[in-house]
Amino acid sequence: MKTIAIRTSQNVSINYQVAALYQRVLAFFLDSIFNQIIAVLLTLLILFVLSLFSPSGAEGWLESFEYLLITPLWMGYTLISEVLFKGQTFGKMAMGIRVVRIDGKQVTFMDYLLRWSFRLIDLWMTCGALASIMSSGSPRGQRLGGMVSNTTVVKMNPQLPVALREVLNIDSRSSYEPVYPEVRRFKESDMLLMKQTIDRYKRFQNPAHQKALALLVERAANELQVPVPQENQVGFIRTLIKDYIVLTR
Amino acid at 18: V
Q: Give the pLDDT confidence score for residue 201 in this predicted structure.
A: 83
Q: Assess whether 191 and 107 both reside in one domain.
A: no
Last residue of a domain, one of 105, 126, 155: 155
Q: Do both 235 and 215 map to the same domain?
A: yes
* pLDDT for position 62: 67
Q: Same domain for 41 and 125?
A: yes
Instruction: For strands 13-17 and 97-101, give the pairing.
Output: unpaired
Helix H, strand E, coil C: the string for the chain is: CCEEEEECCCCCEEEEEECCHHHHHHHHHHHHHHHHHHHHHHHHHHHHHHHHHCCCCHHHHHHHHHHHHHHHHHHCHHHHHHHHCCCCCHHHHHHCEEEEECCCCCCCHHHHHHHHHCHHHHHHCCCCHHHHHHHHHCCCCCCHHHHHHCEEEEECCCECCCCHHHHHHCCCCCCCCCCCHHHHHCCHHHHHHHHHHHHHHHHCCCHHHHHHHHHHHHHHHHHHCCCCCCCCHHHHHHHHHHHHHHHHC
Burial (0-12, 13-18, 19+ Cβ within 10 Å), 170: middle
Q: 127 and 67, same structural domain?
A: yes
The reported pLDDT for the residue numbered 112 is 96
Query: Do 131 and 22 belong together in one domain?
Result: yes
Answer for the pair 249, 11: CB distance below 8 angstroms, yes or no. yes
Say whether both 147 and 195 belong to one domain: no
> Of 135, 155, 175, which one is at a domain's C-terminal end?
155
Of the candidates 155, 187, 221, which is a domain's last residue? Answer: 155
Structural domain including 183 reads 164-248
pLDDT of residue 60: 63
Residues 206 and 86 grouped into a single domain: no
What phi and psi values does residue 243 have, to the nearest 5 degrees?
A: -60, -45
Q: Check whether residue 33 and residue 74 sit in a common domain.
A: yes
The count of structural domains within the chain is 2
pLDDT value of residue 89: 96
| 135 plus 171 within the same structural domain | no
Per-residue pLDDT of the chain (249 residues; tens, 9 = 90+): 688 877 665 555 677 889 999 999 999 999 999 999 998 998 888 777 777 776 665 566 667 777 778 888 899 999 999 999 999 999 999 999 999 999 888 899 999 999 999 999 999 899 899 999 999 888 899 999 999 999 999 998 665 555 545 555 555 555 678 888 899 888 887 888 888 888 888 877 788 888 888 898 999 999 888 988 888 888 899 899 888 888 876
The reported pTM is: 0.63
Same domain, 8 and 107: yes
Q: Residue 18 contacts by C-beta under 8 Å, 6 or more apart in sequence?
A: 1, 2, 3, 4, 140, 141, 152, 153, 154, 155
Alpha carbons 216 and 211: distance in angstroms, whole number = 9
Tell whether 147 and 237 lie within a shared domain.
no
Looking at residue 55, what is its pLDDT?
63
